[in-house]
Structure 1
Amino acid sequence: MTLRPPVQPMLAQAAESVPGPGVLGPLAFEQKFDGFRALLFTPAGPGGRVLMQSRRGALIQDRFPDLAAAAEQQLPDGLVLDGELLIWDPEEGRLSFEALQRRAAVRGRNAPPLAARWPAYFVAFDVLQLGGEEIMNRPYVERRALLEDLFADHGLTAPWTLCPMTTDLATAREWLETWTDVSGVEGLVVKGMNQRYTQAARGWYKIRRRDSTEAVIGAVTGTLARPQLLVLGRHDSTGRLRAVGRTVPLRPDASRLVGEYLAAAAPGHPWTGVRFAAAWGSRDVLDATLVRPDLVAEVSADRAIDRGGVFRHPLRFKRLRTDVTVEDVPRFGVGPNTAAG
């Protein structure tokens, strides 16, 4: 039977370093892009239509009519690709997650104008079905070879991109250190050459580049003596303290240390009345307590940051920077690889 949506995509679990070969056997390393996961289905025969599915199974082809039209013209029937949706902003000259969000939220007659302004690209990193034959049980090395043949045989170019892959560890490390300086590239995905594609399983590993930077502690959850996590901010060009993210829960020793320095907020705190989301894009809010915004925290951050300067993923607390002041903290909107020194 041919695959039809919804198909649960195979997933990756976070890792701090490259897993040893004993975990997955021979390894392949793919560049990890900061986009939207999507599966693309071409019809099995005449009369069908191209379908696109989000990671959670929603059909989204009407939000990306440019890709659907390109698939009808350029891709063979009975194909299922797994990949990442990206948007290139020609005005900014960079990949734009913000533009991708806008396109993903608009459908119907409003979608084509946005497609003309912000064209979409599909970075393919796996093929699950070819010529109507489901191939998920084949090892990754075979599926990758078939994916490369697909691009070569059909002369696929933009909006189709073959995800860069290497089996050389030195090359992968170079990608992690240098390619992640490019907007939209945030790390590596590590796969076993002999792995099958297992739906919904977290059988791959993802490694995001992380850099140290500083931010101001403006609020906490828990108590002042034993904070659970920190809500962090940076000052913008007008001197206003803007929230930029939150940390993961603090370790007990870090919680005790930070608690020794925290002080309750005085009247007129810049975040008075502000509600903080429990996670990026979430409607849940934190039960936060405002604190005096005069402490600087050094944190570890990945490269997923909005153009406005908000970190999309939780930060990791490293230490207090009692040797610097809030004036030494990078301004709001500055990337994670800038530190106070």
Structure 2
Amino acid sequence: MPVLRPPVEPMLAQARDTVPGPGALPGELRLQPKFDGYRALVFTPWPAHGPVLLQSRRGRFLQDRLPELVDAAAALPDGLVLDGELVVWAQGRMSFEALQRRAASSGRTAARLAQETPAHFIAFDLLQADGQELLHVPYGERRARLEQLFTDRGLSAPWTLCPETTDVATAQEWLTSWTQVSGIEGLVVPARGPGALQGAPP
């Protein structure tokens, strides 16, 4: 099975006005909060001793702009590809404007902003592990392996495991409470593959 190499085009969400009910999609219904950040992929070296790469959803490389995430990737195993969302916290809330400044920075400015407004990566899918591509593995198994990765490695900031629930009532509660928090826009319903269906708040 081929090793994933950037650029990899992630499957994008499709907007929906309501939360799907049980049985509306194939397989078990899973729901996650939708964060207002930059979709990104993290590639750790395979084989070892290569560079860590951060790729935007459009194929742009971001690692020179986010050196703190490259440094933090030392805690990740080789041959890994994480799919997730880049966010920046500023003054106690997620700030898309601060994230835009980070993405446009370089050199000394990038190093300074890494200290002042560090980026965080919210992981919601595992596309490759140990150099083995997982795109055809059912989402539930990929999610279990992603959770195990966080447990085994004791991962913490800047790495965050995206919250997930199988309970529609809990997801509805998220919509009525979390969406009032700056930086959270709605829900994402992961599909069987690496993509998702997105549900916006009503």
With normalisation by structure 1, the TM-score equals 0.57
CA contact (8 A) 1:53 1:60 kept: yes
Deviations 1:216-265 (A, max 9, x none): xxxxxxxxxxxxxxxxxxxxxxxxxxxxxxxxxxxxxxxxxxxxxxxxxx
Provide the C-alpha distance between the structure 1 equivalents of 2:153 and 2:27, rounded to a whole number of angstroms. Answer: 32
* 1:34 maps to amino acid: D
Provide the C-alpha distance between the structure 2 equivalents of 1:131 and 1:107, rounded to a whole number of angstroms. Answer: 31
The structure that is strand-richer by fraction is 1
User: Which of these two proteins has the greater Rg computed from alpha carbons?
Assistant: 1
Deviations 1:33-88 (A, max 9, x none): 000000000001332010000010011110100001100x2100000000000001
Q: Hey, what does 2:200 align to over in structure 1?
A: 208
CA contact (8 A) 2:187 2:199 kept: yes
The answer to whether 1:129 aligns with 2:143 is: no
CA contact (8 A) 2:87 2:95 kept: yes
Q: Hey, what does 2:157 align to over in structure 1?
A: 158
Q: Hey, what does 1:196 align to over in structure 2?
A: 193
Q: Hey, what does 1:59 align to over in structure 2?
A: 61
Aligned-residue offset at 1:180 = 1.1
Task: Report % sequence identity.
Answer: 60
Provide the C-alpha distance between the structure 1 equivalents of 2:141 and 2:105, rounded to a whole number of angstroms. Answer: 37
Provide the C-alpha distance between the structure 2 equivalents of 1:169 and 1:19, rounded to a whole number of angstroms. Answer: 8
Could you say what secondary structure the match of 2:10 adopts? coil
Could you say what secondary structure the match of 2:79 adopts? coil
Aligned-residue offset at 1:138 = 0.5
The answer to whether 1:176 aligns with 2:175 is: yes
The structure that is helix-richer by fraction is 2
Provide the C-alpha distance between the structure 2 equivalents of 1:142 and 1:134, rounded to a whole number of angstroms. Answer: 13
Deviations 1:67-115 (A, max 9, x none): 01100x21000000000000011xx221111100000011223210011
**Unaligned 5+ runs, structure 2:** none
Map 1:313-332 onto structure 2 (within 5 A).
none
Could you say what secondary structure the match of 2:19 adopts? coil
Provide the C-alpha distance between the structure 1 equivalents of 2:177 and 2:162, rounded to a whole number of angstroms. Answer: 17
Q: Hey, what does 1:35 align to over in structure 2?
A: 37
Provide the C-alpha distance between the structure 1 equivalents of 2:62 and 2:186, rounded to a whole number of angstroms. Answer: 26
Deviating above 4 A after TM superposition, structure 1's stretches of 4 or more consecutive aligned residues are none
Please identify, of 37-46 and 76-85, the stretch whose mean Cα deviation from structure 2 is larger.
37-46
Structure number with higher relative contact order (C-alpha < 8 Å, ≥ 6 residues apart): 2
With normalisation by structure 2, the TM-score equals 0.95
Aligned-residue offset at 1:2 = 1.4
Map 1:176-325 onto structure 2 (within 5 A).
176-192=175-191, 195-197=192-194, 204-210=196-202
Could you say what secondary structure the match of 1:23 adopts? coil
Could you say what secondary structure the match of 1:165 adopts? coil
CA contact (8 A) 1:84 1:122 kept: yes
Provide the C-alpha distance between the structure 2 equivalents of 1:25 and 1:79, rounded to a whole number of angstroms. Answer: 25
CA contact (8 A) 2:185 2:201 kept: yes
CA contact (8 A) 1:24 1:191 kept: no
